[in-house]
Structure formats: structure tokens, C-alpha cells
Structure 1
Amino acid sequence: MMTATASTLPFTERSNPLTQNIDVADCKGIVDMLHSCDEEMLAGSFQFPEPEDHLVVMSGCGTSGRMAFLAATTFNRLLIENGKQACCAYLIAGGDRALLTSQEAPEDDPLLGASELQQAAAGKKKVIYIGITCGLSAPYVAGQLDHCLQHLETFTPLLMGFNPEMKHAAKDNKAFILNPVVGPEPITGSTRMKGGSATKILLDTILLLAAQKAVDQCAINEHTVRAFLGAYTQCVESVYSKAADISCLVSNAGKSLQASGHIYYFGAGTAGIMGCIDASECVPTYGSDPEDVRGFLQGGYDTLNNAAGCLDNLGPLYRLSWKDFCDDKLGQFKSSDSAIFLLSSPDNGIIQHSVSSVCPSSDATSTSYGRVNSFPSSSLQVRAVSNLCNKFMIAMRLGEFALKLVCNSVSTGAHIMVGKACQNFMVDVQIRNNKLFYRAIRIVQAESFHPKIQG
């Protein structure tokens, strides 16, 4: 097998020259490199169709599926609050357990994907299907797309990804394809980062504007779309204007892992969900122990609002409420652990209340009880999009996006500090599906300067 040249690799699997030295950078350098990559993500333009119908099914694997879950549950709630019927559903390879832990094997099963889509769409006359696969290569999504193309009387398929060399999916105009260039990932192949962020931008844009049109019967034009996307560009700049604060979080989190400690995210609502999502991605990306990085959500599964409901019976990794942390972890919480509170308000009273709810013997600045930090997303200054209604909580969507960037920076930087990256390649990736197998081969080839792998 010959080494693939950069020009023949999918964009999502290419090494990004902006981060080739990320493994030897200090915390501020890591954050600055991630900033450059996130700016690159928003440098292009996005175009998409505007479908409307009875059911919208969003589907993906790993981070793509988690972004589909977040979008579907969020916008169903917004529609209901505004007097409309919920119309979104989500699918994720591996089912709801994949929201909290990595489940790579089902990603390679196209028949499973098709079967689950068929079940989700049962009884519906018209379905908009949004299949999300960053490299446009996930068999689970491919099986669903094939099912859609065989039943175009019911399905309007939209394929979303970030590999512009893959254009055949739109052949004969049977499927829409949304395939912008966002550039290679800062950690090669780690599509949880830019791929996941771009997915959230696109889903938020499509669904928020569609919801506004459905509720307010207002026209949506190119200017509206560009204004909305511009808010995300501002959000990226606002996040990285706090580079010093983020670097401090990275440093504390990295020191925790270096001392065999843990990183714990705590949050309420979608802020807490962003922490749980980030934690779920560390095992497959960096080969970390599942307990190294954990997310805990105020209200647990009642807040998560996933289709399968409470998953506590699956084991300790699925216990995610603040109460679960107090019952399972608080007695073992030590000075080498980091607690990071993801908040929707910078108010010190809210910060103190949140900290004392989880760590009753601590305060927001104490290090004797572990490293306790907070990052309030609402401290970020992003101008409002004037022609979008507050009823759709635009600022909250931007806050979620901001917290995703911060959490990705923290977990990425912390794992770099414990040697989980060489240049900008992940070096402890767990080979659990076809995509990861070939990625591992390319990493070995690149690092060994060996053009051919025997066997």
C-alpha cells in the first residue's frame, strides 16, 4: 500500500500546516493555533437549499450524530414553545449510548443505517433527510442516503460534509449536497473539531431560519443568511479574544492529566450538554481512559431529553447528573482534579451557586479542593442579528458554539500536554472501524517515513 499524497486524501484526513508544531507549543500557542484553524473554517461561503415538510431527520456518526441530536431536540423545543408542532428527529450510529460514549462499530453498517431511517420515517408522507458525514464516507449514512434515493417519492435527501472532492452524491440532482471547504483539522482527522463546529453552524442556520419563517411568515433571503453566518464569525473572534483565559483552562486541565487526575465539566441545559459531548470524544481521539474526562449535566437525563431516556442501567459512564457526581465522585475528588463549570451567565452569584452545588466545600477561586474554573459563554460579546427574533434564542445558540470551541481547546490542549499528539497527529487512536484503520496506517506511514506498509 503506497502512502497517499496530500492531494488525494479527503480534506478531513489531511494534516493542517497551521498546527504541525502544536505538540511542542505552550498553552497560549495551542490556543492561538486553534484560533487560526477556526478562522479558516469560516473563510469560505455556505450555500444550501431550504426544504420544508412534515418530518426532518438528521443523522450522523460520532460528533455528527451528537450535533444532529442537539439540533433536533433544541429546535423541537423552540417550535413547541412558539405554538408549532415538533417536526425533527435524530439518528446516531450506535443509538443513544453513542451520545455519551464512543460506538464506532455501527458506523460501518449501511444496512443498520437504512433500517433505522426506515423506522424513524414510518408513516410519514414527506421526509427531509439530512445525512451528516464530514468526510462524506460514513457507511451508516451512505446506507440511509441509498434508501432515500430509492424512495424519492417520500424523501428529499441532503448530504452534508466537508470534502469537496466528493461530488457524485448530487448526481442527476437526486440529492442536495452541502459541501463547503473548511480546511484540514488542527489535529489530523479529528473531525469533532472544525467538522463538528461547521456542522453546528449549518444546522443552526438552516433550522433557525426555517423556524422563523414558519412562525413569523417572513421572507428569508441571502442577506439574512449572511448576517446569521456573520454572527458566528464574530463569535469565533470573541472566543479567542479570551485566549489568556482559555490558556489557563488548558494549563490546569493538562496538569490534571499529567498528575493522573481528572477533568470534570459541569453545566446546566445545553451548556452542560456541550461538556458531555466533548468528554465523549476523548476516548476514540486520544485513547484516554473513559474516566479521564467526564461531563455532568444538571438534571441528568431529564435535561438531556434523549429518545431512549435514562441510560443509568448501562453502567457508571452513563451516570451524568450532578447528583450522580456527588454520589459517585465527590468523595474521591482530589487536588489534581479539574472542575470546569460551563455557564450561561458571568454572574458571580450563579458561579458560586453552581460550584457549591457540586463541590460544597469549595469556592470559585480555591485550588485546595482541586482546580475549579468557570467559563461563562455570555461574557462573549457578539452583536445581535437584527432581523432574527429573540424568541428563537439566537444568543443561546452562539453561546453553545462558543462553549464547544472552548471545550475542544481544553481537551485537545490537555491531551497534547500528556503526549497524545506527535506534530498534529493523534498517536493513541483506537482502531475500532474502517475509517480509523486507514487513518492509523497513514499515521504510521507518515511518522516512519515508510512509503509502503507490509501485510
Structure 2
Amino acid sequence: MTASQPTDRGHLLTEQANPRSTQLDQLSSLDLVELFNHEDQRTLTAIADSKGPLAAAIDATTEALRQGGRLFYVGAGTSGRLGVLDAAECPPTFCTPPELVQGLLAGGVGALVKSSEGLEDIAADGAATIAERAVSAQDVVVGITAGGTTPYVRGALTEAQQRGATTIFMACVPADQAPIEVDIDIRLLVGPELLAGSTRLKAGTVTKMALNILSTGVMVRLGKVYGNRMVDVAVTNTKLRDRALRILCDLTDLDRDAAGTLLDRSHQQVKLALMMHLGDLDAETAAINLAQHQGQLRQALEGANRSD
């Protein structure tokens, strides 16, 4: 975990000048858009090249969360903000408790809107953040750093590893440029940025893509999705109630009014409503069936059908 840091950051892939954008300041607006669009295609290739480690990260995180663990994203600057964003989107999308997926950012909440780059250089702060959250062997810690060298992230991963947590590293440089010993090493190699060193560009885009895949993949495996519908969606406003009703109408033979009545009977729980209707069960029995199948609606329905 304490592998040596690169002595010259200029050698890092994320810091190099992109030969395709040497005339960036002379391009028309249309040419700028076309160049960005062309360069951003590299994010898709980077994700494809990392599908093995990403799948391993989904599997490891799913198992940890099934056993009562938590998922932590740790980062600084753009990388850290992306982790916080992904964590913040889990409760409304998948009705997860806020402590299940947490984003830890160098500089804390204030760094979300005000730059605090100096704080990313303090490895002890990263370690302290992990200690404050009482991270244990049940948990998963994902360190996110485009250039792979951020001391705050490395300090957090070192502390997490010493506590027995599963450690995952997500960076946009090759392993030989920023070596590290972790359980799962994800390298998202998009190449130099069009604006040299500005990793909020391709590196930020590919990181967001990877986090989308990781968190959504985990939630699918945890049974929070049925088909391609977010059946654990939190019904907390008009838009989300409308989405819940559309899910119920699409997956059952109910019209909107009947779906609304069913949703109310299920206390605004879409998955429970589906279990009640498709399994022809009352709310209490439907909840018991879901619990017996770890919240997996498809398995619970198959079990209910076999018992008929």
C-alpha cells in the first residue's frame, strides 16, 4: 500500500500534453465541440478495457453489503466530488439508508463548492477520516484519484487495509506510474486531456461512468431492480410518485387509479406493492416473503408461486 510515489508528476499520463489539441486556443467553437466529442470516445474504450476489475468490484461490494457492510468513496477535488455525488444519488434511486454508501471528500462538505486542493496532500487526514467512520473488515473503501498519487486517498486506503476492509483503487494512469497494493485495481486509461492536466474532463467523465456502473451493478445484485425498473425507488415527491405509478402500471394489469390504491396500501413501497399484486398476498405476508428472499422480488415471486 505504501508503494513509492512518482518523483516527477509530469510523467503521469494525466499530466501530459495531448498532441491532438496543441492548437486548442485557435479553434472555432464548432471545432472545439467536435474535438471534445472525438476525444470523449476514449472513455468508452477505457471502460471496456476495465470490465474485469469493474465486475470484480461489483461482486466484492455486493457481498460486503449483503453481510451488513458499507461502501465508502474517498477522493479529493473532482474525483472526490464525483464519489459524493454517486453516494448522494443512491438513497433516492434505490431507497438505501444514507449510511450505506458514503462519499468522503478531502476538506469535507465545504470542498464541494469551494476548492481546497491543499488538503489532498495530507495522508493522515485520509487515515483519520477512515478511523472516524469506524471502517471495519465488513466494509469496502474505493479510493478515487485521477492521477493515482493523491496522499489523502492513499492514506485512507492504507488505514482501510489495516482495518481489514476490502480496498478498491480507481485511477486514470497505468499501474507502473502509480503502483499500489489493493484488492481490486481499476485503471481507466483515457490518455492526456485536451486541456493539459485538467482531469475534470475525460478523467472525470470516465470516473463518473465507472461509478455509475459500480453502484448500479451492486444495487441490481442486491435486488433493488426488477427487470430494468428501480422497484426500490423512494416515493418522496410528485415526480417519483408518478414514476412509481408508471412502474406498477407497466408491470401489472392495473390502471393508474388502481395502481395508486395499491401503492398507498403498500405504504409507498413499489416492490412490496408488486409482491402483493403479483403474488396475490396481503402486505404483511408479502413483506415476509421478500425478507425471506433477501429483498429479491423475482425469487420471492417464484417461491410464492411454487407454494401455491
User: Fold-level match, TM-score > 0.5?
Assistant: yes
> Over aligned residue pairs, what C-alpha RMSD do you find?
2.4
Relative to structure 1, the CA distance from residue 55 to residue 390 in structure 2 (aligned partners, 3 Å threshold; closer, same or farther) is closer
Q: Do the aligned residues in 2 keep the contact of 1:114 with 1:147 (CA within 8 Å)?
A: yes
Moved over 6 A (4+): none
| 1:341-370 CA distance string (max 9 Å, x none) | xxxxxxxxxxxxxxxxxxxxxxxxxxxxxx
Amino acid at match of 1:17: P
Relative to structure 1, the CA distance from residue 121 to residue 199 in structure 2 (aligned partners, 3 Å threshold; closer, same or farther) is farther
Select the residue among 63, 71, 91 that pairs with 2:86: 71
**How many Å apart are 1:209 and its aligned residue?**
1.4
Look up the match of 1:55: 70
Relative to structure 1, the CA distance from residue 217 to residue 79 in structure 2 (aligned partners, 3 Å threshold; closer, same or farther) is closer
Amino acid at match of 1:186: L
Tell whether 2:153 aligns with 1:138.
no
Amino acid at match of 1:13: E
* Mapping of residues 291-440 of structure 1, within 5 Å: 388-391=228-231
Bigger-Rg structure (1/2) = 2
SS at match of 1:141: helix
Q: Distance in 2 between matches of 1:137 and 1:13?
A: 12
Tell whether 2:198 aligns with 1:190.
yes
Q: Distance in 1 between matches of 2:105 and 2:121?
A: 12
Select the residue among 169, 192, 196 that pairs with 2:180: 169
| 1:41-93 CA distance string (max 9 Å, x none) | 2223222222222110001110111101110010133232xxx5441111111
* Mapping of residues 5-404 of structure 1, within 5 Å: 9-44=11-46, 45=48, 46-47=50-51, 48=54, 49=56, 50=58, 51=60, 52=62, 53=64, 54-80=69-95, 84-86=96-98, 87-121=100-134, 124=136, 126-152=138-164, 155-164=165-174, 165-166=176-177, 168-170=179-181, 174-216=182-224, 388-391=228-231
Amino acid at match of 1:110: A
Q: Distance in 1 between matches of 2:134 and 2:169?
A: 17
Number of equivalences: 212
Identity between Structure 1 and Structure 2 (%): 26
**How many Å apart are 1:217 and its aligned residue?**
7.8
Q: Distance in 1 between matches of 2:94 and 2:128?
A: 28
Q: Do the aligned residues in 1 keep the contact of 2:166 with 2:183 (CA within 8 Å)?
A: yes
Unmatched tracts of structure 1, length 5 or more? 219-386, 394-455
Relative to structure 1, the CA distance from residue 388 to residue 167 in structure 2 (aligned partners, 3 Å threshold; closer, same or farther) is farther
| 1:288-327 CA distance string (max 9 Å, x none) | xxxxxxxxxxxxxxxxxxxxxxxxxxxxxxxxxxxxxxxx
Q: Distance in 1 between matches of 2:188 and 2:157?
A: 19
Using the size of structure 1 for normalisation, the TM-score is 0.44
Unmatched tracts of structure 2, length 5 or more? 1-6, 234-308
Using the size of structure 2 for normalisation, the TM-score is 0.64
Q: Distance in 1 between matches of 2:228 and 2:24?
A: 38
Amino acid at match of 1:36: H
**How many Å apart are 1:200 and its aligned residue?**
0.6
Q: Do the aligned residues in 2 keep the contact of 1:159 with 1:178 (CA within 8 Å)?
A: yes
Q: Distance in 2 between matches of 1:130 and 1:104?
A: 19
Q: Do the aligned residues in 2 keep the contact of 1:12 with 1:184 (CA within 8 Å)?
A: yes
SS at match of 2:222: helix
Amino acid at match of 2:161: L
SS at match of 1:195: helix
Larger proportion of helix:
2
Q: Do the aligned residues in 2 keep the contact of 1:212 with 1:389 (CA within 8 Å)?
A: no
Q: Distance in 2 between matches of 1:131 and 1:63?
A: 13
Q: Do the aligned residues in 1 keep the contact of 2:71 with 2:140 (CA within 8 Å)?
A: yes
**How many Å apart are 1:390 and its aligned residue?**
4.8
